[in-house]
């Protein structure tokens, strides 16, 4: 069973490398294809929109074929699509490649989280924090590689070609130890009609709302922490970027120890403590108008918030029972929507009330999330939140 654990962790790592390799070269995309700001916005949006569409079907596909098969196919296609993005001729081909890449990314995002849930069930021990830590580490490494090759003058096509080949091999190796398809394949197939409705239970909606709030907060830090330090705390442009660096570094540290803490103290205790630490970090950022202290505050936000989403994914997988893949699919829709619209939401509120007050508005939302920490316990999640579907046709 340890083999399956490290295999699915490796899948998270490879996926993080693939997506972050693309993200790290977005400025190069703009230059090479001579895109305006608005055109780049449209091109980037199609990737996220395609991923959201894909996520609506993946639960049913996992139920029919098992997450192992989807992961293996997706990790074979994603590197090829990354290469296609680097060698597209014109905006139309670029958009088509990004749509296809978004569709496959949405599929592997749901599938790998569903498989991690299956491994947790088989082991009887948490692994989700470690999986998400692997994604964070790979994202940092891929971003550093992207920055290095850009500075060295390596073209987009060359970078994506070699990265795609390397990650195609890595993905092939990573999937060998995954659990068999029977681990999370449903006994009865889900019809196409039910594929749209299954998984939308009340527990999933509650967990989805919690995940949405957490990802709005993460999007706020990723997109706006540097702006806050520069415009409201007097930090220089180079220094302002350290807010995100501190956030990411401490988020990774928290995830590396999150599974051990969960095993020792319980999911609900770790979740509540993480939320409180994250809220404390936000309070520090809001209350102390010094850029160095704000960097420390964002580090606390990353440390505390690191365990929140992995624990929500685990809880949804357990509450979902035999329909765990569908539940994970719906949760991923919420979280992905949060990270996509978060920057725009924060920007809108910042324009109206200021960036500091906008960050302050995240505090009561996270307090509500922290107040529901008891739902991270399997028994609590099942008993406290009715699992009655939203429509009679779901059963």
Shared-domain flag, residues 226 and 355: yes
- At residue 344, the pLDDT reads 81
Q: What is the per-residue pLDDT across 330-387, written as a single tens digit (0 to 9) for each?
A: 888 888 888 888 878 888 888 889 889 999 999 999 999 999 998 887 543 433 444 4
Shared-domain flag, residues 114 and 246: no
Shared-domain flag, residues 145 and 69: yes
- At residue 387, the pLDDT reads 40
Shared-domain flag, residues 374 and 275: yes
- At residue 134, the pLDDT reads 95
At 181 the three-state DSSP class reads helix
Cα–Cα distance between 64 and 192 in angstroms, integer?
11
Cα 292 versus chain centre, distance: 28
What are residue 389's DSSP bridge partners?
Answer: 201
Shared-domain flag, residues 120 and 207: no
Contacts of range 253-257, beta carbons closer than 8 Å, 24 or more positions apart: 253/303, 253/306, 254/129, 254/302, 254/303, 254/304, 254/305, 254/306, 254/307, 255/129, 255/130, 255/132, 255/133, 255/136, 255/306, 255/307, 255/310, 256/129, 256/130, 256/133, 257/129
Shared-domain flag, residues 174 and 245: no
CA angle 257, 72, 24 (to 5 degrees): 60
Number of domains in the chain: 2
CA distances from 189 to 66, 89, 179, 186, 356 (A): 11, 41, 20, 6, 50
Average model confidence (pLDDT) across the chain: 86
Q: What is the pLDDT along the chain (395 residues), one digit of tens a residue?
A: 689 999 999 999 999 999 989 988 888 888 888 888 778 777 877 888 898 889 888 878 888 888 999 999 999 999 999 999 999 988 899 999 999 999 999 999 999 999 999 999 888 889 999 999 999 899 889 888 988 898 899 999 999 999 999 999 999 999 999 999 887 776 544 444 455 556 678 888 999 999 999 999 998 888 888 889 988 888 887 788 788 888 988 999 999 999 999 999 999 999 999 999 999 999 999 999 999 999 999 999 999 999 999 999 999 888 876 677 788 888 888 888 888 888 788 888 888 898 899 999 999 999 999 999 988 875 434 334 444 444 433 33
Cα–Cα distance between 24 and 144 in angstroms, integer?
8
Domain-terminating residue out of 145, 179, 213:
179
Kindly give the residue spans of alpha helices, DSSP state H, lying in 66-155: 67-86, 91-123, 128-151
Query: What is the residue range of 344's domain?
Result: 202-384
| Nearest Cα residue to 13 out of 143, 133, 176 | 133
Instruction: Record the tokens describing residue 311, joined without a space.
Output: 């624990």
Residue 276 lies in a domain: yes
Residue 42 lies in a domain: yes
Shared-domain flag, residues 153 and 210: no
Shared-domain flag, residues 97 and 175: yes
Residue 184 lies in a domain: no
Backbone Cα Rg of the chain = 20
Here the CATH number for the domain that contains residue 89 is 1.20.1250.20
Shared-domain flag, residues 147 and 215: no
Q: What is the pTM of this model?
A: 0.81
Residue 20 lies in a domain: yes
Instruction: Record the tokens describing residue 177, joined without a space.
Output: 């130890």
Shared-domain flag, residues 222 and 359: yes
Residue 195 lies in a domain: no
Shared-domain flag, residues 60 and 126: yes
Cα–Cα distance between 143 and 17 in angstroms, integer?
8
Shared-domain flag, residues 14 and 48: yes
């Amino acid at each position: 069973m340890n083999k399956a654990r490290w295999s699915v962790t490796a899948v998270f790592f490879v996926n993080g490398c693939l997506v972050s390799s693309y993200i790290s070269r977005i400025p190069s995309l703009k230059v090479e294809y001579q895109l305006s700001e608005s055109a780049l916005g449209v091109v980037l949006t199609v990737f996220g929109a395609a991923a959201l569409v894909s996520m609506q079907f993946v639960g049913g596909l996992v139920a029919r074929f098992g997450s192992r098969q989807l992961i293996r196919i997706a990790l074979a296609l994603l590197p090829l699509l990354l290469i296609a993005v680097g060698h597209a001729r014109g905006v139309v081909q670029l958009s088509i490649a990004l749509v296809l890449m978004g569709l496959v990314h949405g599929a592997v995002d749901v599938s790998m989280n569903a498989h991690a849930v299956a491994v947790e069930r088989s082991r009887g021990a948490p692994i989700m924090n470690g999986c998400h830590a692997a994604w964070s580490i790979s994202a940092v490494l891929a971003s550093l590689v992207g920055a290095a090759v850009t500075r060295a003058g390596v073209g987009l096509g060359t970078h994506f070609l070699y990265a795609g080949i390397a990650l195609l091999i890595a993905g092939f190796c990573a999937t060998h130890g995954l659990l068999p398809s029977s681990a999370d394949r449903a006994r009865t197939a889900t019809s196409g009609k039910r594929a749209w409705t299954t998984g939308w239970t009340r527990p999933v909606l509650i967990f989805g709302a919690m995940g949405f709030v957490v990802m709005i907060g993460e999007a706020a830090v990723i997109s706006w922490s540097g702006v806050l330090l520069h415009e409201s705390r007097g930090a220089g442009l180079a220094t302002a970027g350290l807010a995100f660096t501190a956030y990411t570094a401490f988020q990774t540290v928290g995830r590396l120890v999150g599974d051990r803490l969960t095993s020792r103290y319980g999911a609900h205790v770790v979740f509540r403590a993480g939320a409180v630490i994250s809220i404390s970090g936000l309070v520090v950022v809001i209350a102390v108008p010094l850029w160095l202290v704000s960097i420390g505050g964002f580090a606390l936000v990353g440390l505390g918030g690191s365990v929140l989403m992995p624990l929500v994914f685990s809880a949804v997988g357990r509450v979902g029972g035999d329909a765990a893949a569908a539940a994970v699919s719906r949760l991923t829709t919420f979280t992905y929507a949060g990270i996509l619209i978060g920057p725009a939401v924060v920007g809108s509120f910042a324009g109206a009330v200021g960036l500091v007050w906008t960050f302050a508005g995240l505090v009561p939302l996270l307090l509500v999330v922290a107040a529901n920490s008891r739902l991270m316990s399997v028994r609590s999640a099942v008993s406290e939140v009715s699992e009655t579907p939203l429509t009679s046709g779901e059963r």
